[in-house]
Chain A
Amino acid sequence: MAGCSIRAIWILTPHHSVAFSRTFPVVERRWRSACARDGEVATQEPLPSDLEVAAAFTDRKQREGSARGFGIRVASSTPGSDSWVDDPVTRHIITLHINREEAEEYMLWPVIVHTSGNYYILVLPLVEPKKVREYRKLYQRNNCGGSVKEHNSLSSLLLSLPCITGAFMVAHAIGDLIAGETSDPEVVATSSSSAVGGLLDTLTGSIGIGVAPRPKPTSVPILASASSAATLMGSTLVDSSRTMTKPIDKDLLRGFISGSMPYGTPVDLNQNNLAAIRTTGFGSADPPPADLRQPAWKPYLYRGRQRVLLMTQETINAALYDREDIPDSFSISGQINCRAELEGLPDVQLPLIGVKPAKVKMLSVHQSAQYSDHGEDKQAIIFSPPVGSFVLARYQVSHATNPAPVKGFYQLSLVSEDGGQFLFRLTLMEGYKSPYCMDFCTIIMPFPRRRILSVDGTPSVGTVSMTERLIEWKIVTSGRGISGKTVDATFSGTVRFHPRVVNKSLSVSLSKSVLGCTAAEDSDEERESSNNSVNVEDVLMEKLNWDLEAVDLEEPLCWQAFNYAKVSFKITGGTFSGMTIDPKSVSIYPVVKAPVEYSMQVTSGDYILWNTLARSPHAAVPKDSC
């Protein structure tokens, strides 16, 4: 079956009614003939109506516990449910049971689920009927679960179905579109020190003016790593923005679908290109290149002042323990963003410096690029740039050459059920010289399950503020960045909470659905009396943990089970890994004179100071990784 074709797209509101739907009769004809060829009568059912899809989705939500489902087989799973397959991917690739009054129930698989801006985007790609049959076997298997190595496992099924991957690309593209997010990466022009606009600006020649036609979501560094920030901030802060559902611009969506996959087969999912073609079109001023063939992803050729903007963006995830038994762990991921405003179809060579010492692993490069690794100091990326900003390469670093920008420890000791003492002792920017500059640095102590009554204590530097769920300590505020000096910061104090209200019913219902038993039916006293441990803090922790909710599989860990402080910062003027680009050695063929501007920035991702005095999550380090 050729490529990836989409049978249907549905967009469901948070209340599970269909807000938008699109089917592709051309693909449906292909599905029907494939069914007829395979002798599949049952699957020849016409596609469900919007109402049926909404009902099936709601029904699945009830069956699987949540809109996405458990993803792992739990005690309440039954054959014929996605969680029975026992794989986290079934939270993204789901089955819908369509119940028709006059006909037999049939299943739709694979339905891709992606959420964006509170909408559920469901995409049904075309797969061969026999693949559906294969999945049905896994879905209704009567044994205890599949192993990785067995034949016809879910993995081999997924490998043989690129259309599922394609459907995810479609779902993400649509998700970005309805959420109003552009896929442009950030590139800062050092000369004007302002973020440059998107592709449309290039076409309209408005670069450098600094007024972007579409407001780009400004990268607020605290929210930079969105996934964990949501939990960090506690539900109250983020909810307001989350519950707002932007209405869908159906005309825009229809235009996008007609442009990107007129007959259901996605050809080009680049939102910016499609928008540019739709709005500007082509005139006689866009002659085709004389002797070169224009790539399909570069519908327009740049004309104007030539320059190359490069930016290295690194994100540090760190887990700092300050303990002898657990080493601190750092992982750095970085990307090189590029915006090459060059006429024609040139090739650019970009030598990289410091790849080997930093043990950089090149994860991926842009489709137009090739990474070449020739010995000790000869690593380079050669690429033919598209128009507009793009991510040239992504990499990961296991060994940074620079020291940690924020070092130290955080201790919190719960002296009673409703109060605790804490102590921070931190060193910032030790070993960093100019031009490294720390723009800001903020520390947040979240207490998502407690309501804070008061905080006592004054930090040695910075200011402290408090909301109901978190304490925020601003050590370095933006505008007063520090450069070329080391800052020592300490903060000790006490925090008091409102008395706790336990939501027991929730935990009981959870234990019933997940464990299939009533583990929580014993009274509280029983739990306490059985506990032989003498440590008061352990007892407190255990009590606190009893009403913890299970986190989604998308989360790395159950944040709420731990005490920690999260550090947010932004450093400009260098990279943490030590891998850089020398702008002077960037070469362009055919040779043109174009200035190369290069900027660097390091931001914090999950930069966590775990409470030294309590339990903290960590991971084993394989023996031979160093």
Chain B
Amino acid sequence: MEKQTSFKTSPPLPNLSIQDWDSLLDDFSSGDASRRRKHLSLPLLDLCLHSLSRRDLPSSLKLSLLHFLDQHLPSIPIPSPPFPSLLSSLRSLLPSPDPSPLKEQLLITTTSLFISLLQSPSSPYLQSLIELLLPLINRPNHGPDRQTRGLVCESLRELESAFPCLLSEILGHVWALAQAERTHVAQSYLLLLTQISRNAVVNGLLSSSSSILSTSTPLTPFTIPQIALSDQSLVLSPPSDVNLREIRRVLAFLLDRPRDLTPGAISVLTSTLVDIADALEDCVPAVSALLKVNFSSLLSSHNPFLSHSILSLYRHFSEAFNDHDIGKVAYRLQLSASDTSQKLIFRLLALHWLYGSTLLTSQVSSLTSLPGFYPQVFDPLAVKAKKLDAISVIASEGDEAVSLLEDGLVCISYFRWLPGWSTETLVAFRAMHKLLIGVMPHDGSDNGPGCMRLGSLMESTIFADLENVLIHLALEHHPLVPVIATFSSRLLQCETHSPVSSRFLQTLDRCLIPNLKPGYGLSFYFPLLEKISENETVAPKGVLELLKRHMVCLTDEHGPDTGHRSWSQGSRVLSICRVMLKKHKGSQIFRPLSRLLAFTCQNFPDLEVRDNARIYLRMLACIPGKKLRQTLSIGEQKSGLAPAPLPASLIDVPPHPSPDLKKSTGIGSYIHLERLKPPLVKQSWFLPVQGSVPALSNGSGCVEGGIMDIVTSVAPSSPDESNKTDSSKVAHQKEASRVMDPNTALLLRVLRTHFGCIPDYRVMPGIKIRIPCMLRFESDPFIRNWGFESCDEQTLPALYAIKITFSTLSKYGKIPSCRVPFLLGDSLKSDLVIVSVGQGNDENIEHSNFAKVFLELQPEDPMPGLIDIFINANTATEQVISGFLRPVTIGIEDMFLKAILPPNVSDMWVPRYYSDLFDTLWEACGSSVNIGRETFPLNGGKGAVLINGTQSVKFLEVPEDVLINAVERHLAGFVVRVAGAPLVKVIRQNRVIENIVWDEKEEEEDDLDVGPSGDDFSAENALVAYSREESELDVEYTQAEMESNSNDRSLAIVDKKKSVGNICVLIFLPPRYHLLFLMEIGYGSTMVRMRTDHWPCLAYVDEYLEALF
């Protein structure tokens, strides 16, 4: 065999070997552009055509080459049109008398390339091609080459269909040939005739006065007729009589023997006939009658393709068929659907055809055809599903709908005890859904007989029966409960049907809930309870009372081995409560829900559930409805369907283990980064609140941290001005634009001054918090893990080039990483020394057994949080250690800062300034003062804030000396004023708190009013003040809380009589919030009134205050 692998483009053509061709074909079929590209320089077309005549190549390869040309030539850039070489190859092969696959394939490829590459028929090559082909078909009944003749007919048909009217002038010849041909390829002649006639009819050639079947012009030489070349479509004029007669003859011939054709050919024939009949419309009315006679019987053929082609005739010529005929068709399709020997897809299609035609569905709708639509035991589930569709159609016509459907569902009745995900269940619920939307379709669809409007549907027996079925299912077969829940939410999501679903949930609430028993079995119904809770149209009372009884029951049955179960069920109950909190606007949930939560947080055996219940209770009581809903929706994207309100990532669990090194996984157990001063509250939970005051986020241009962009209606200040903290100027500018009473004006001025000092962290460095920590590691486990044999007792292991990076989910800004060049391990003997040092909290200690690092946070939201720590270090043996350490907890008190002092306040006036600021902020955070939607610009000139105050109280039952002690220890820096002679005396004596305002006058009742507007401080008002404005949530108290409240009140009254004095505490929470305490200290107990412009912090402050003692 000749072998030449060099790819040269110069003539003579390179002879590619079999292997070369194989790899070339492979490269092209791979679809990879780069592999193709290397062959593009070759003259591929000529190479292929040349190879056809080579004797050394196998014929299968030659065929592959032709296929290759067919598939890929249109997408390959070729320098010159391929037609001449194709034609010459064809010319050399075609005349040979024996039929060969190669010859046929060349014909196919050539025709195909002509059609796909030629844009218009005005090419001389096309004319040559047709001249080459026409003599071939002009030999009817010639035996040996009949297959080739058939193929040539097919080629001509494709050309005619691509370039309409191309062959219109030889219609007469084709007509004669088609009549003459008697072998099996007569079909191809017939189809060619059909195609040419169709184009002639559609393009208006019938209007000519000369006969379209005329054979006056010879078959060859062939010229492309003018009509094929003109782009303009002709204005159709009525056909001339002579041509009408001619076309009738042609049609009669075409309709004569459909039985002789293959199904594919009949399909082509019928669709073409439809086109012809459409174009001729009234001129040839006999067509449809002929169709009926000749084609109808083919409908009962095995071949679904054939049946479908006949069906499309019925669709087009429906007027030719009477009800009896249509009924027969419907019956036939119904039979095909039951034909077990037929392939599944065709059984399904038969049902689709039946439902797809309005003509036929009317037949389906008559009850007489019902038996055929009862699914059989051994019908595939897909067929069962489709047959049930028919039952739903029939059923929606009458009242006995549901009983019919139930009969139909018998065939899959065992879905009741199969798992909810079984296919049978899907089919059953699909059928119920179809029934429902069959009765009440979506808008825009036909409201035929049996269709109802919303109101009538809800009153109908169908709906009531269906509800009963579902309720029965839910009661008897609890694995189906999630499926029923899914079913109802599917309807809920639909605009048209959501009222139906709401009604259904109401019925469930009425009929199902009272029948459910509390206990462990109730957990099956949680998905449904959740759906009911979500729906605002259902009164929540029923569900909540059931859940309350459930919680009581869980508490009663709690024993040593039910811990996990109590936790899981309790959490799920709480998640339903959460849904309630989120979805229900009315005040009706308040009483039952607070009862449920109060019971849970007091009595439930599981601690976590108790805690969570407490948070919810507090949220319910303290956060107004709208804010509450927003708060609860925030965490949603993260936590998804998690039952607990807290995303798992925020619960104190060790973070993801280091993925790579096996040894690194446990490094958190012996390398420690610890806070020098542990937080007061060992926080185990964090509310996932992100935008700190979401209520603000409605404001335009608002971004993180509740800071919004200043709308530049104010005269723009020059950049150097804005950099200076010329707060008074800003304040004056603002002030001038409003008219207000002097008190408020004073208030606003103080606030503007204050906020003008707070840096806007978005445009400039924000306020930073540094938390000192200590890095150390234990030698023993370190050596064990990293295997230093050489280590003797005295040598301590060491770490080099330690890099610590921090990450957190909380909004603490970017925390800069730390580097420690060298660190020795702890002493092998004991680490007592270290502990003592750690407690010593001495900043000057330098020791290589531990390193001091600072966590530098720039909070964008003053919240507690967790900081994940990742460490990277080298050992002495140059091993790389990396992994996560135990996270560091950040407490709320880490956020406590002193308010920023404006630069122009002299030292002497500092106590006075703070005291005034406290009063002002107290006022501003109260609910009664009208500072409206006043905004306060921050330093930086870009951002401004709104004050959105909240208040709360905390009753501390501790003796006054303990309290004073605690305040001095933990809050000394934040005290701005102490009032009341006895108190002043004690605190002054201690000399811990200094440089504040001392108010020694005897406390009178009036003096409690700190604010100038006479804010009322009675306990009741303080608690519910916020609900005055937004009365959606009617805040009330549970019995337990009521009791404790009344206790509070009585104590408070008693305390007022023997009050020691007040301490005012002003805490600044970065980036721009405040927390104010007014501690009314009595003998034996203290009432702490709190106000803040950052309500989420209240949740933590509560625990913080408790932890003080």
Question: Does chain A bind chain B?
Answer: yes
CB-CB under 8 A from A151, the residues of chain B are 445-446
A60 within 8 A of B: no
B719 within 8 A of A: no
Q: A331-B378, A553-B381 are in contact. Are A530 and B418 (CB under 8 A)?
A: no
Please tell me if the beta carbons of A72 and B430 are within 8 angstroms of each other in the complex: yes
Closest partner residue, chain B, to A529 (CB atom): B520
Please tell me if the beta carbons of B116 and A168 are within 8 angstroms of each other in the complex: no
Interface residues of A in 416-433 (CB under 8 A from B): none
B422 within 8 A of A: yes
A62 within 8 A of B: no
Interface residues of B in 818-836 (CB under 8 A from A): none
Interface residues of A in 517-550 (CB under 8 A from B): 517-519, 521-523, 525-526, 529-530, 541-542, 545-546, 548, 550
A49 within 8 A of B: yes
CB distance from A365 to the nearest CB of B (A): 6
> What would be 28 A-B contacts, judged by CB atoms less than 8 Å apart?
A49-B31, A72-B430, A143-B497, A144-B493, A144-B497, A148-B393, A153-B356, A157-B356, A159-B311, A162-B271, A166-B305, A172-B343, A228-B378, A255-B63, A258-B104, A262-B104, A283-B143, A288-B183, A297-B262, A364-B301, A364-B342, A365-B300, A367-B259, A394-B339, A515-B420, A558-B424, A622-B371, A624-B371
Please tell me if the beta carbons of A295 and B306 are within 8 angstroms of each other in the complex: no
A340 within 8 A of B: no
CB-CB under 8 A from B430, the residues of chain A are 72-73, 86
Interface residues of B in 728-770 (CB under 8 A from A): none
Scan B365-394; emit 1 where CB is below 8 A from any A CB, else 0.
Answer: 000001100111111111011100110110
Q: A165-B349, A169-B304, A333-B339 are in contact. Are A296 and B262 (CB under 8 A)?
A: yes
CB distance from B180 to the nearest CB of A (A): 10
Q: A267-B262, A319-B377 are in contact. Are A364 and B302 (CB under 8 A)?
A: yes
CB-CB under 8 A from A149, the residues of chain B are 361, 393, 396, 438, 441, 445-446, 448, 451
CB-CB under 8 A from A557, the residues of chain B are 377-378, 381, 412, 414, 424
CB-CB under 8 A from A288, the residues of chain B are 141, 143, 146, 182-183
B990 within 8 A of A: no
Selecting from B483-491, B547-555, B590-598, B693-701, the interface stretch reads B483-491
Please tell me if the beta carbons of A147 and B445 are within 8 angstroms of each other in the complex: yes
A1 within 8 A of B: yes
Q: Looking at the complex, which one of A24, A91, A282, A364 makes contact with B146 (CB distance below 8 Å)?
A: A282
Please tell me if the beta carbons of A529 and B311 are within 8 angstroms of each other in the complex: no
CB-CB under 8 A from A261, the residues of chain B are 264
Scan A156-172; emit 1 where CB is below 8 A from any B CB, else 0.
Answer: 11111010111011001
Q: How far is the CA of A220 from the CA of B441 in the complex (A)?
A: 50
Q: A162-B267, A258-B105, A553-B381 are in contact. Are A284 and B143 (CB under 8 A)?
A: yes
Q: A4-B305, A158-B356, A329-B377 are in contact. Are A73 and B490 (CB under 8 A)?
A: yes
Please tell me if the beta carbons of A23 and B71 are within 8 angstroms of each other in the complex: yes
Please tell me if the beta carbons of B378 and A511 are within 8 angstroms of each other in the complex: no
Closest partner residue, chain B, to A24 (CB atom): B112
Please tell me if the beta carbons of B182 and A165 are within 8 angstroms of each other in the complex: no
Interface residues of A in 491-527 (CB under 8 A from B): 507, 510-511, 513-519, 521-523, 525-526
Q: A88-B348, A551-B381 are in contact. Are A160 and B186 (CB under 8 A)?
A: no
A71 within 8 A of B: yes
B471 within 8 A of A: no
Selecting from A25-33, A187-195, A568-576, the interface stretch reads A25-33
Q: How far is the CA of A620 from the CA of B370 in the complex (A)?
A: 12
CB-CB under 8 A from B380, the residues of chain A are 227, 553-556
CB-CB under 8 A from A156, the residues of chain B are 355-357
CB-CB under 8 A from B348, the residues of chain A are 88-89, 92
Q: How far is the CA of A366 from the CA of B259 in the complex (A)?
A: 10
A294 within 8 A of B: yes
Please tell me if the beta carbons of A396 and B335 are within 8 angstroms of each other in the complex: yes
CB distance from A363 to the nearest CB of B (A): 5
Q: How far is the CA of A557 from the CA of B257 in the complex (A)?
A: 44
Q: How far is the CA of A481 from the CA of B996 in the complex (A)?
A: 114
B303 within 8 A of A: yes
CB-CB under 8 A from A415, the residues of chain B are none
CB-CB under 8 A from B678, the residues of chain A are none
Please tell me if the beta carbons of B385 and A553 are within 8 angstroms of each other in the complex: yes
Please tell me if the beta carbons of A2 and B352 are within 8 angstroms of each other in the complex: no
Please tell me if the beta carbons of B301 and A150 are within 8 angstroms of each other in the complex: no
B805 within 8 A of A: no
Interface residues of B in 305-354 (CB under 8 A from A): 305-306, 308-309, 311-312, 315, 335-336, 338-346, 348-349, 351-354
Q: How far is the CA of A157 from the CA of B353 in the complex (A)?
A: 9
A454 within 8 A of B: no
Q: A288-B141, A317-B378 are in contact. Are A147 and B426 (CB under 8 A)?
A: no
CB distance from A229 to the nearest CB of B (A): 13
CB-CB under 8 A from A552, the residues of chain B are 381, 423
CB distance from B298 to the nearest CB of A (A): 7
Closest partner residue, chain A, to B364 (CB atom): A148
CB-CB under 8 A from A522, the residues of chain B are 523-524, 568
Q: How far is the CA of A270 from the CA of B303 in the complex (A)?
A: 12
A269 within 8 A of B: yes
B82 within 8 A of A: no
Closest partner residue, chain B, to A296 (CB atom): B187
CB distance from B743 to the nearest CB of A (A): 56
B111 within 8 A of A: yes
CB-CB under 8 A from A299, the residues of chain B are 183-184
Q: How far is the CA of A145 from the CA of B446 in the complex (A)?
A: 15
Interface residues of B in 395-422 (CB under 8 A from A): 396, 407-408, 410-414, 417-422
Please tell me if the beta carbons of A296 and B411 are within 8 angstroms of each other in the complex: no
Q: How far is the CA of A58 from the CA of B311 in the complex (A)?
A: 36
CB distance from B338 to the nearest CB of A (A): 6
Q: How far is the CA of A144 from the CA of B351 in the complex (A)?
A: 22
Please tell me if the beta carbons of B144 and A319 are within 8 angstroms of each other in the complex: no
Please tell me if the beta carbons of B31 and A52 are within 8 angstroms of each other in the complex: yes
CB distance from B344 to the nearest CB of A (A): 6
Please tell me if the beta carbons of B357 and A550 are within 8 angstroms of each other in the complex: no
Q: How far is the CA of A258 from the CA of B67 in the complex (A)?
A: 10
CB distance from B316 to the nearest CB of A (A): 10
Please tell me if the beta carbons of A619 and B442 are within 8 angstroms of each other in the complex: no
Scan A1-41; emit 1 where CB is below 8 A from any B CB, else 0.
Answer: 11110000000000000000111111011100000000000
CB-CB under 8 A from A298, the residues of chain B are 184
B482 within 8 A of A: yes
CB-CB under 8 A from A145, the residues of chain B are 433-434, 437, 490, 494
Closest partner residue, chain B, to A546 (CB atom): B419
Q: Looking at the complex, which one of A2, A50, A281, A319 makes contact with B378 (CB distance below 8 Å)?
A: A319
Scan B150-187; emit 1 where CB is below 8 A from any A CB, else 0.
Answer: 01001100100110000000000000000001111111
Closest partner residue, chain A, to B119 (CB atom): A29
Interface residues of B in 83-103 (CB under 8 A from A): 98-99, 101
Q: How far is the CA of A368 from the CA of B386 in the complex (A)?
A: 31
B108 within 8 A of A: yes
CB distance from A435 to the nearest CB of B (A): 25
A322 within 8 A of B: no
CB-CB under 8 A from A3, the residues of chain B are 264, 267-268, 271-272
Q: How far is the CA of A147 from the CA of B335 in the complex (A)?
A: 23
CB-CB under 8 A from A514, the residues of chain B are 420-421, 426
B427 within 8 A of A: yes
CB-CB under 8 A from A510, the residues of chain B are 419, 421
A244 within 8 A of B: no
CB-CB under 8 A from A30, the residues of chain B are 161-162
Please tell me if the beta carbons of A548 and B419 are within 8 angstroms of each other in the complex: yes
Q: How far is the CA of A87 from the CA of B386 in the complex (A)?
A: 8
Q: A22-B71, A88-B348 are in contact. Are A143 and B495 (CB under 8 A)?
A: yes
Please tell me if the beta carbons of B423 and A277 are within 8 angstroms of each other in the complex: no
Q: A147-B437, A529-B520 are in contact. Are A295 and B184 (CB under 8 A)?
A: yes
Please tell me if the beta carbons of A554 and B382 are within 8 angstroms of each other in the complex: yes
CB distance from A551 to the nearest CB of B (A): 5
Q: How far is the CA of A545 from the CA of B421 in the complex (A)?
A: 11
Q: Looking at the complex, which one of A21, A270, A546 makes contact with B29 (CB distance below 8 Å)?
A: A21
